[in-house]
Amino acid sequence: MPTSVPALSLEGVSVSYGHVRAVTDVSFTAHPGRVVALLGPNGAGKSTLLRAICNQATKVSGRVTLFGADISTTRTHRITHRGVALVPEGRRVIAPLTVQENLQVAAGGARRLEPRDRTAAIERVYHLFPPLQRLRDRPSALLSGGEQQMVAIGRALVARPDVLLLDEPSMGLAPVMVETIYGFLKEHGATLGETAVVLAEQNRSALAVADEVVVLSRGRVVHAGPASSLPEDVLTEAYLGSATPEPPVPASSGAN
Ligand code: ATP
């Protein structure tokens, strides 16, 4: 395990929506330059947890720290300015704008970025995702789902975040496109530099690019450890455990 100060640390975080408990007592850390896969089935609490880190979901208990500083109650926009970027589920691009314009808007809104550094930050995104280079002047609405996802991740990366939270970037993409995007992230680990990445996914594809894995089931951590040695049965049990049992078929229904 890395010995550096964690970029992000969660200690005993619990989140409720009204009376519904979505996340219970979750703790994990994400270190600079490393990728944590947050795996779990539908409804396990992954999005809630990422939103709670950004103070977009109300924590009922627990602590979130950024390089040791408590950001549990910091307002969302301040958390963003302090270096946490969330790429939410769904591909958030500004459809009528070109790829270049999308990245320029993101760079313009990034308070951590000096105006003179904006161009270099945008070029870094093209370096990370080479297919975007020839699409610079194309309206984002005309891109494929995978290309839009690259733009969405790129928009977060131009701000040079210390912590990048990716919520199911593979959703709705063909497996080959998922592999391509993960491939770029892995290949250009050096480009991502010291950014700590938390990658929430339903499927194990994220393990290909992750250093550590945290498995969630019904809002609780059921496993945490190196991504390279995730026991097969952990995921199976997490996914089976989340399944709602089918109601028994009444004997008199004639079903066989
Ligand atoms: P998915 O993979 O489908 O996105 P997830 O692991 O991200 O699932 P969450 O979306 O965080 O899971 O949901 C966790 C639990 O919280 C679920 O039981 C869900 O129904 C509930 N939940 C999520 N958002 C809300 C909300 N706004 N109000 C009430 N309950 C919610």
List, for residues 60-71, the tens digit of each pLDDT value: 899 999 999 999
Q: Report if residue 225 sits inside a domain.
A: no
In which order are the strands placed within the sheet that holds 196-201? 84-87, 163-167, 196-201, 35-39, 212-217, 220-226
**CB 9, CB 176: distance < 8 Å:** no
Q: Report if residue 224 sits inside a domain.
A: no
Q: Report if residue 218 sits inside a domain.
A: no
Domain that holds residue 134: 93-159
Question: pLDDT, tens digit, for every residue of 22-35?
Answer: 999 999 999 998 89
Helix (H) or strand (E) holding 42: none
Q: Report if residue 52 sits inside a domain.
A: no
Q: Report if residue 227 sits inside a domain.
A: no
Distance separating alpha carbons of residues 194 and 197, to the nearest angstrom: 9
Q: Report if residue 175 sits inside a domain.
A: no
Q: Is the CB of 83 under 6 A from ligand 1?
A: no
Question: pLDDT, tens digit, for every residue of 186-242?
Answer: 766 544 678 899 999 998 888 888 999 999 999 999 999 999 888 888 888 877 766
Closest atom of ligand 1 to 51 CA is 11
Question: CA angle, corner 27, sides to 78 and 64, nearest 5?
Answer: 15
- The total of structural domains in the chain comes to 1
Distance (Å) from CA 154 to ligand 1 centroid: 26
**Chain centroid to CA 165:** 4
* Residue 234 Cα distances to 216, 220, 221, 240, 242, angstroms: 10, 13, 11, 10, 12
